Amino acid sequence: MPHAAGDPVFAVLRTLSVRAPVAHCGAAPSCSRGARRFGRTPHVDLFAPSRTEAKALTGETEPSKMAAAFREHMKTGLIGIKLDEEGCYLDDGQTRVHVPAAKITVVDTTGAGDTWFGALMTALMKGMPLEPAGRFANRAAADCCTALGASTGVRTFEDTLARM
């Protein structure tokens, strides 16, 4: 990327990637400007935009096509597209899977995306394979939506795992 050399964020990402994986929860509004749309994706290990963000960045409406567009610029790492009541689409470069959402009666969606992201990272850090990690994340996000507030409905790891 021509703008990478002068961007201090790239230097920080290169330094950090030696020490720890870099994750990105969603797409910042500035990501939609011209060539910068995908400028930093080669430097992250986990990129997880919402369907709306993924559509804005790629122009695609189908999750598999969105992921394929991101994969052109992010050769390694995990791409996760949050699909709201339809679950999520995960692509780790080898496995591609659509994981359905847990069915619930929605009370409040505040915090659902952040809960999903945290739960996915937790599941992966605990060594879960991709599809069960997606189910765990979907279950945690669904639980989040069953009560008012960003974390009231969130349960323990063990409880969430037992309810997948």
Known catalytic residue: 114? Answer: yes
Give yes or no for a contact between 147 and 106, defined as CB atoms under 8 angstroms apart. no
DSSP symbols for 106-153:
-S--TTHHHHHHHHHHHHHHTT--HHHHHHHHHHHHHHHTTSSSSSTT
3-state secondary structure of 103: coil
Q: Which position among 108, 114, 143, 159 bears the catalytic label? A: 114
Query: Catalytic residue positions?
Result: 114
